[in-house]
Chains A and B, each alone.
Chain A
Amino acid sequence: MTDRGGAAGAHPRAAAPAAGAQMPGPMPCQDGPVSEAQALVQIAGATVRFGAFTALDGVDFRMFPGEVHSLMGENGAGKSTLIKALTGALALDEGTVVIGGSERRFGGPRDAQDAGVSTVYQEVDLLENLSVAENIFLGREPRRWGVIDHRTMRRDAAAVLSGLGLDVDPASPLGRYPLAVQQLVAIARAISTDVRVLVLDEPTSSLDLDEVAELFRVIRELKERGVAILFVSHFLDQVYEMSDRITVLRDGQLVGEYLTTELLRIDLVKKMLGRDVAEIAPREHVVEPEMPADPVLSARGLTRTPGIANADVDIAEGEVLGVAGLLGSGRTELARALTGVDRAHAGIIRIEGQPARLDSPRHAMNLGVVYSSENRRTEGLIGDLSIEDNIVLALQAQQGALHPISAPRRRELALSWIEALGIKPADPDRPVRTLSGGNQQKVMLARLLALSPRVIVLDEPTRGIDVGAKVEIQRLVGELADNGLSVVFISAELEEVLRVGDRVAILREGEVAETVAAASLNPDTLMALVAQPDLPEA
């Protein structure tokens, strides 16, 4: 990574605390230029309580101009809470936030943005009905004679978007684009203002390698300009690639602040989890011929425009079929067509040899085919309902409203899934909206597994999940497959697809270009296959 920025080089050295040490005093000892060693953001003793639960407990945190500072911790450690406290989205119960030398209490994200603190929240919070340009300039639209100047707005939006290497039409509704694009638009929104502090809460969770590279290029540019960047990601590679410094939280408490160069990955993971993680051995792949003889689910010529064209897929019993492809290759569209979420325009789906017309998710569920969306918030969870309600929802819907699952049975189901998947907090009555991202994902999985499906299609199931939980989910997928469940596992993370999948279906421009045994691939060869431009038909 570029280290030319004197800023980036100076602070880490200036403020090297001993590993494991608590936060040093407000002023780091300095041997760099004085002005640069001044912390731009200084949070002291931050405490946030939700009722009796303390989500953040006296945490100190600081950021320097021109540095990328990663905030690390398990799901539920309090990262997003600290960020919300910084931006005023949540009020601190105790503690102070000092930015640029003066204490700030933002009334909300708008205030914060006016003060140069821009945030991209973990769950994309844009308005799908509005155009891309309107989303970018929401609340600060360029005006001419008092009315919104749409021409200028679109032009400025196009400029910001192209700065991110993003080729979308600023005038079309945001909802038309996939989640990854929406996430990039949220980022475009954040950097379209005059930023001094840029907060990115898991910005890369749904992005592909190319987009991540593009984003990182932009982050480096901002860093050169002296912007302080707070970065949260569960991808250790990205954290190590980008950050100058790492602050680790655990259970709402500060573990310590470290220089990235002085913290071994294994130590970082240990500090995050408070224990060692057992690396799982890559799954013993079921050695299968290219096409299973009697697939549980098979699709021929599956087409839905735009998205997928003529896709052929076969999934055997007890197999994990990894799906890899670039953004726009039709990963999600394939998943949705396979599970009745979107009706296919052409093609045949067979379930255990029987042709099935899947015209609704409900129908697919009854045939044992279930789907977990990549977009938890809008297509997954029912935020205001409890963990228990969310877990039993699909089962209850399947049984019909007039055949209620009895209260004790519901409770039993909820508790057993909470335990099986390690959902925290283990309180079935907690509104699912208040859970951390990783735990929400587990609730999603629990809902589907409670149906005892035959085929489960997981679209980015480990998105936003911490290292520990990710390993758990990967292991769980393996176990489920060993017990006869067929899994379609879609992930932008190729390494994960290879680790979990028995075979890998490679999607290119809406077609399954080929299906390859995972054992014969490594991430590099898979990348080459995924990115290969379509050769003209011979």
Chain B
Amino acid sequence: MTLLKHRLFWPVAALVTLVVVNVIANPNFAKVTMRDGDLYGNPVTILRESAPLMLVALGMTLVIATRGIDLSVGAVMAVSGAVSLTIIADSPDPGSLGTVTVAIVVAVLVALVLGAWNGFLVSVLGIQPIIATLVLMLAGRGVALLITGGAITTVTSAPYKFLSNGYLILLPVAFFIWVAVVAIVALVERRTALGMLTESVGINPEASRLAGVRSRGIIWAAYMVSGLLAGVAGIINASNTMAADSNNAGYLIELYAILAVVLGGTSLMGGKFSIAGTVIGVLTVTTLDKTIQFFGVPPAQSPVFFAVVVVIVVLVQSPRVHAWGRAASARMRRTPSSGEPPTGPGAASAAKKHEEVAA
């Protein structure tokens, strides 16, 4: 019962169910093999390919906690990929570690500046987050195209490629990158007071201001982190393809990130957030993506399939649906002869109550 009440219970249940269904349908789904001292197989691929979405969703979690939203993350990814690959392509020695380091640092800094721009619009100028970040969402890809001169820049650079395709101990580098970033973000949020202050600002901005919280700084910081992490995601993404494709890099990732955050149990209303929940949400989304491949859904139909499964997963997690379920089973138990009116009110009020308890 207490397990049921845990805020991560339903997100985890959804992920586990998804994996189990897949494994039953096709045992190869979980197959892992060892080659040259490295692990390969679908689960490993999921961990590797989760990286960009994981980073973006992490930043999105913080932004959403402040009652905001960051639509620009995909565009920022494109810019960061374009910046880093252009630097490498223009350098005399694309394969050197020095070039790659410079490329990464500059790209990440550019992404940080873009995040700061978003934060400025939202926290200082008071522009609605959805509009403020829409500006960059629309303009960002144009900037990326400008940087690459309108072409798809492709490069060959072993150290850069290593980021997404390399292996460290048994597992892909990209996996270690996201694990490290998750750990850092979680540590910073929980070990400093940033987590609490972010939640406070998200729950009640005016009361927070009156309590002396610098909401402006907190909100600004969230957008900067989001920009920064989108920048890193852009690098990993570009490293995967070794091409700066400004039109397609991170395309629609903002929506998948929002989906992952919500699947992880963080409310779009802001306030309480869960980093662990977001990790689970991202793994769910990536697993779902793989499910589509394993089920051999034709590309034309895969968005519909994806949407249907998402709706099911979201319903399974909805407190209101849980309450309906409980009310329905209670009615069954009360025996049909008692003439209990099979109406909604009881169920609806139970749902209300559940929300209050669970929130």
Shortest Cβ gap from B140 to chain A (Å)? 29
Other-chain residue from B191, B203, B217, B357 in contact with A384 (beta carbon distance below 8 A): B203
CB neighbors of B among A392-420 (8 A)? 393-394, 396-405
Query: B177 interface residue, CB < 8 Å from A?
Result: no
A385 x B203 contact (CB < 8 A): yes
Contact between chains at A401 and B193 (CB < 8 Å):
yes
B111-157: which residues lie under 8 A (CB-CB) from chain A? Answer: none
- Whether B199 and A384, one on each chain, are in contact in the complex, defined by CB atoms closer than 8 angstroms, is yes
Bound complex: CA of A447 vs CA of B212, how far in Å?
A: 11
Among A144-177, those with CB < 8 Å from B are none
Q: Which segment, of B32-40, B84-92, B161-169, B342-350, faces chain A?
A: B342-350
Task: Tell me if B349 and A361 are in contact (CB < 8 A).
Answer: no
Q: What bracket does the count of chain A residues touching chain B fall in?
A: 35 or more
Let me know if A382 and B207 touch, CB within 8 A.
yes
Instruction: Judge whether A383 and B203 touch: CB under 8 Å.
Output: yes
Binds B, one of A100-108, A116-124, A320-328, A506-514: A100-108
Residues from chain A with Cβ under 8 Å of B207 in the complex:
378-382
Answer yes or no: A59 CB below 8 A from chain B CBs: no
The interface residues of chain B, by DSSP majority, are classed as helix
Determine if B213 and A108 form an interchain contact, defined as CB atoms under 8 angstroms apart.
no
**Residue interface mask B37-77, A partner, CB < 8 A = 1:** 00000000000000000000000000000000000000000
B203–A397 touching, CB < 8 Å: no
Interface residue B209 (Cβ < 8 Å from any Cβ of A): yes
Contact of A365 among B204, B212, B345, B356 (CB under 8 A): B212
A180: chain B residues within 8 A (beta carbon): none
Specify which chain A residues have a CB less than 8 angstroms from the CB of B212 in the assembled complex.
Answer: 361-362, 365, 394, 397-398
Question: Contacts A385-B196, A385-B199, A396-B197: A91 and B352 contacting too (C-beta < 8 A)?
Answer: yes
Q: Name the B residues within 8 Å of A206 (CB-CB).
A: none
**What B residues does A361 contact at CB under 8 A?**
209-212
Distance of A399 from chain B, by nearest CB (Å): 8
Given the complex of chains A and B, what is the CA–CA distance between A384 and B344 in angstroms?
28
How long is the Cα–Cα vector from A403 to B196 in the complex, in angstroms?
12
B206 within 8 A of A: yes
> Which chain B residue has the least Cβ–Cβ distance from A386?
B196
Q: Does B218 contact A (CB under 8 A)?
A: yes
- Chain A residues whose CB sits within 8 angstroms of the CB of B272 once the complex forms: 384
- Is the pair A394, B211 in contact by a Cβ cutoff of 8 Å? yes
A393→B200 contact, CB < 8 A: yes
Q: Which residues of B contact A88 (CB under 8 A)?
A: 345, 349
Size band of the interface chain B makes with A: 20 to 34
List CB contacts (< 8 Å) of B175-195 with chain A.
191-194
Whether A382 contacts B203 by the Cβ 8 Å rule is yes
Asked if A60 CB lies within 8 Å of chain B CBs, one says no
Q: Does B271 contact A (CB under 8 A)?
A: yes
Report the Cα distance A381→B200, complex, angstroms. 9
Residues of B within 8 A of A380 (CB): 207, 210
Count of chain A to chain B residue pairs whose CB atoms are closer than 8 Å in the complex: 109
Most A CB within 10 A of own CB, among B196, B200, B344, B356: B196
Is the pair B191, A404 in contact by a Cβ cutoff of 8 Å?
Answer: yes
Q: Which residues of chain B come closer than 8 Å to A89, judged between CB atoms?
A: 349, 352
B31 at the interface (CB under 8 A from A): no
Type the 1/0 row for A267-285, where 1 means its CB is closer than 8 Å to any CB of B. Answer: 0000000000000000000
Considering the complex, give the chain B residue whose CB is closest to the CB of A90: B353
Q: A404 to B199, Cβ gap below 8 A? A: no
Q: How far is the CB of B358 from chain A (nearest CB, A)?
A: 11
Distance in angstroms between the alpha carbons of A107 and B323 in the assembled complex: 13
Residues in B whose Cβ lies below 8 Å from that of A405: 193
Contact A382–B193 (Cβ < 8 Å) = no
Interface string of B321-359 (1 = CB under 8 A from A): 000000000000000000000001110111011001101
Give a binary string over A86-113; 1 marks a CB under 8 Å from any B CB, 0 the rest.
0011110000000000000111100100
Q: Is the CB of B359 within 8 A of A384?
A: yes
A89-B352, A105-B345 known; A382 and B204 CB under 8 Å?
yes
Complex Cα gap A51–B353 (Å): 11
CB distance from B349 to the nearest CB of A (A): 4
Give Cα distance in the complex from A404 to B194, angstroms. Answer: 8
CB distance from B324 to the nearest CB of A (A): 12
Q: Are B197 and A401 in contact (CB-based, < 8 A)?
A: yes
Min CB gap A129→B, angstroms: 13
13 contacts between A and B (CB under 8 A): A89-B349, A91-B349, A91-B353, A107-B344, A360-B209, A361-B211, A362-B209, A384-B271, A384-B272, A393-B200, A394-B212, A396-B193, A397-B214
Supply 12 further A-B pairs (C-beta < 8 A) apart from A397-B208, A401-B197.
A88-B349, A108-B349, A378-B204, A381-B204, A382-B207, A399-B193, A401-B217, A401-B218, A402-B193, A403-B193, A404-B191, A405-B193
Chain A interfacial positions (CB closer than 8 Å to B): 50-51, 88-91, 105-108, 111, 341, 360-362, 365, 371, 373, 378-385, 389, 393-394, 396-405, 447
Smallest CB-CB A-B distances: 6 pairs: A107-B345, A362-B212, A91-B349, A107-B348, A397-B212, A397-B213
